[in-house]
Amino acid sequence: MRFYLVFLFLFILVACSKKDSKPDPTNRDITGTVQVFDEFGVASNDVIGVTVTLSDGTNDLTTQTIQNGKYNFSKVPFGKYNLAVSKNGFGTNKQFGIKNLKKLDSADYPLQLGTIGITQKTSTTITSFSAAGKPNRSFDFWVTLSPAAGPGTTPRYFRIFVGLDSLFDWTNPEVIVSPFPVTGSGQSGNLRGALLPQYFPAGTKAWIRVYADASPNNMYYDSTSTPPYKFFFPCMNLETPPASSFIVQE
């Protein structure tokens, strides 16, 4: 009889313990902050109402930023997600491969993502450009743009792309050059070291395109794109004159 009472007491204790324990988590909140910049890289206080989207490839979750650019997704199922941040007149920025992992304290502590920025699309237009091949696989270039950046004002920017045929554009270049700052109505210069011999042997015709861009430009690398592994430039002005060409010199 004594043994039975002890067993019954232990059974009740275990049952109560299971009843009082927290359920196994299946989701957690995801939170973060968005910064907003104009096309010249000046931070803006207009950070409310930016659209933020989480996607697992099948389902999308969408919210908007509130005061101080903060956003929150409630009870996001565990899994792998991509994040997109967008606003009318701004270049969309993205982050890939966000892992929302199961943790014992998931219900109490959200997954805090790093700050992500979006920049206003550039208002600059490339009005003309040309290029000429020089020895040692270098080339001279001349670019004019509108509107001009006056003396003492914030520079405007352009970016050079190099390809192997006249139909190439920013989506399939062989070479991508960092943005050039411009004060005034244009820029000229000489670019060395960009035309690697394995891609541009002597005698090859190289084609040049120039696009106006913003700063910071929010360039990102998308491993999920088709074709895969593509760089995107969401703040560029895609209207540009026809490609210029030259023969690569040894």
| pLDDT per residue rounded down to tens, the chain (250 residues) | 444 444 444 444 445 544 455 667 889 999 999 999 999 999 999 999 999 999 999 999 999 999 999 999 999 999 999 999 999 999 999 999 999 988 766 667 899 999 999 999 999 999 999 999 999 999 999 999 999 987 778 899 999 999 999 999 999 999 999 999 999 999 999 998 889 999 999 999 999 999 999 987 889 999 888 877 799 999 999 999 999 999 999 8
* CATH fold match for the domains 28-120 and 125-247: yes
CA distance 40 to 31: 28
Dump strand ranges (E) for the chain.
27-37, 43-44, 51-55, 60-64, 70-77, 79-86, 90-91, 93-100, 111-112, 116-120, 125-134, 138-149, 156-163, 175-176, 180-182, 184-191, 205-213, 220-222, 230-232, 244-247
pLDDT at 105: 66
Q: pTM for the complete prediction?
A: 0.83
> Domain locations in the chain?
28-120, 125-247
Residues found in the chain: 250
What pLDDT is stored for residue 193 in this prediction? 84
227: preceding bond cis by omega (within 30 degrees): yes
Whole-angstrom distance, CA of residue 17 vs CA of residue 211: 66
Q: What confidence score (pLDDT) does residue 163 get?
A: 96
* CA-based torsion, 98, 99, 105, 107: positive or negative: positive
pLDDT at residue 102, rounded to an integer: 84
CB 105 within 8 A of CB 231: no
Q: Which of 3, 10, 100, 23 is closest to 61 using CA atoms?
A: 100
∠ CA 88-32-120, rounded to 5°: 25
| Cβ atoms of 91 and 41 closer than 8 Å | no
69 φ/ψ angles, rounded to the nearest 5 degrees: 75, 15
Q: Domain 125-247 is classified in which CATH homologous superfamily?
A: Immunoglobulins (2.60.40.10)
The pLDDT value recorded for residue 107 is: 63
Architecture of domain 28-120: Sandwich (2.60)
In the prediction, which pLDDT does 228 show? 76
